[in-house]
Amino acid sequence: MTQLGLLLLAALLGTAAPAGANANPDAGPAASTATFAAAPARTGEPAPRPRHADALQLAQSGDAARRPAGEAVAVLFPDIGEPYRKVFTEIIDGIEDGGKLRVRSYPVASNADLAELQATLKRNGSRVVIALGRQGVKAASGLEPALGVVVGGVSSVPDADKLNGISLSPDPALLFARLKSLLPAVRRVIVVYNPQNSEALMRQAREAARGLGLELNALEAGDLAGAARRYEAAFAAADGRHDALWLPPDPTTVDEATILPIVLKESWNRNVPIFSSSILHVKKGALFALYPNNYELGRELAGLAAALLQGEPARRGVSPLRAVRIAFNWRTASHIGLNIDAGQQRTFDFLFPEP
């Protein structure tokens, strides 16, 4: 067995954490603590409200209290604490500003009474629901079908082709286009994924790769051990001049505690560039990542809600995220011989290590 194989086996036997252990269950795998912490702070943000175990938590966001009593749009989001709550408050800011709609937000606890929620929305005149996070999407699924629903703030949802919304997973076309702009010599993208988590994303990736003249080498793995074997084989055959490794928002194949540290180390030793959808990975050594611009995502969700209010047919399918920011690791770039001038650096939202 190779050195990488031995390291991966030792890690799996000794330190493996449950898949997705570091991911927020409401926001999805892409929404790591680092992603939230990296978003620009907003002054005057209210402190989280305390939970009440036996009641639905209701709250108004921004200037909703000054708007007419009957709201057109209700925003459901998980009643969770910081730092995860921050991503939802930023999305809600974008919703309120983006559509100039009458909006009221409802933090939903895991044990919320959905019948009470339904009655509250009806009493308040809600016509469209924007469901954020897994808890918000779960709550919206139990509402009367007369309400229009837009989903967001999740990396993946079951039956995504039947829903209307925007994912937290960056559009592969944007990722691959950025890769080609930075490394024009790259011809092949290698990715290890679990079909149960990422099949829809891989379909989008295959189409995007064809459109940009890239070969996508998508390797399936159903568990950590399978992912370790796939990475070992991929690195053994990789050519750092023409290959790049993509870390998708997949908790099985991009386990933060076990797989990620070894994959990053191997990529450094072999000069194989890595790109990702997590700012945390860039901080640890990936070349670049695209990650959510929460405020702009909110504005786009508001546009979908406004279309429903105007009587337009609901668009079917959860679209990949296009409202993104970019993080870049200049030390990794220097290591692989990539020189970035000052003009290019200004196009990045975060640089690591920080100057």
CA distance 230 to 149: 39
Label each residue of the chain as H, E or C. CCHHHHHHHHHHHHCCCCCCCCCECCCECCCCHHHHHHCCCCCCCCCCCCCCCCCCCCCCCCCHHHCCCCCCEEEEEECCCCCHHHHHHHHHHHHHHHHCCCEEEEEECCCCCHHHHHHHHHHCCCCEEEEEHHHHHHHHHCCCCCCEEEEECCCCCCCHHHCEEEEEEECHHHHHHHHHHHCCCCCEEEEEECHHHHHHHHHHHHHHHHHCCCEEEEEECCCHHHHHHHHHHHHHHCCCCCEEEEECCCCCCCCCCCHHHHHHHHHHHHCCCEEECCHHHHHHCCCEEEEECHHHHHHHHHHHHHHHHCCCCCCCEEEEECCEEEEEEHHHHHHCCCCCCHHHHCCCCEEECCC
Rounded average pLDDT over 256-278: 96
Q: Is the pLDDT of residue 3 over 60?
A: no
Q: Is the pLDDT of residue 250 over 90?
A: yes
Residue 1: per-residue pLDDT: 56
Q: Is the pLDDT of residue 54 over 80?
A: no
Q: Is the pLDDT of residue 205 over 80?
A: yes
Residue 38: per-residue pLDDT: 32
> For 288-302, how does the pLDDT look when each residue is reduced to its tens digit (9 = 90+)?
999 999 999 999 999
- The larger pLDDT score, comparing residue 269 to residue 163, is at 269
Rounded average pLDDT over 184-208: 95
Residue 62: per-residue pLDDT: 40
> For 152-170, how does the pLDDT look when each residue is reduced to its tens digit (9 = 90+)?
999 877 777 788 999 999 9
Q: At a CB cut-off of 8 Å and minimum separation 6, what does 232 contact?
A: 2, 4, 5, 8
Rounded average pLDDT over 325-348: 92
Residue 8: per-residue pLDDT: 57
* Range in 209-213, 260-264, 287-291, 345-349 with the lowest mean pLDDT: 345-349
Residue 339: per-residue pLDDT: 92
Rounded average pLDDT over 232-244: 96
Rounded average pLDDT over 28-41: 33
Instruction: Give 106's strand partners.
Output: 76
- Tokens coding 96: 């309120």
* Range in 51-65, 109-123, 174-188 with the lowest mean pLDDT: 51-65
Residue 63: per-residue pLDDT: 40
Residue 216: per-residue pLDDT: 98
Rounded average pLDDT over 228-242: 96
Q: Is the pLDDT of residue 274 over 90?
A: yes
Residue 21 C-alpha from the chain's centroid: 16
> For 63-116, how does the pLDDT look when each residue is reduced to its tens digit (9 = 90+)?
433 344 457 899 999 999 998 899 999 999 999 998 677 899 999 998 999 999
Residue 314: per-residue pLDDT: 82
Rounded average pLDDT over 316-331: 95
Residue 155: per-residue pLDDT: 86
Calculate what percentage of the chain has a pLDDT beyond 90.
Answer: 66
Rounded average pLDDT over 112-137: 93
Residue 96: per-residue pLDDT: 92
Residue 14: per-residue pLDDT: 52
Q: Rounded to the nearest 5 degrees, what angle is found at the Cα of 160, between the Cα atoms of 156 and 163?
A: 125
- Tokens coding 212: 């940009």
Mean pLDDT across the chain: 83
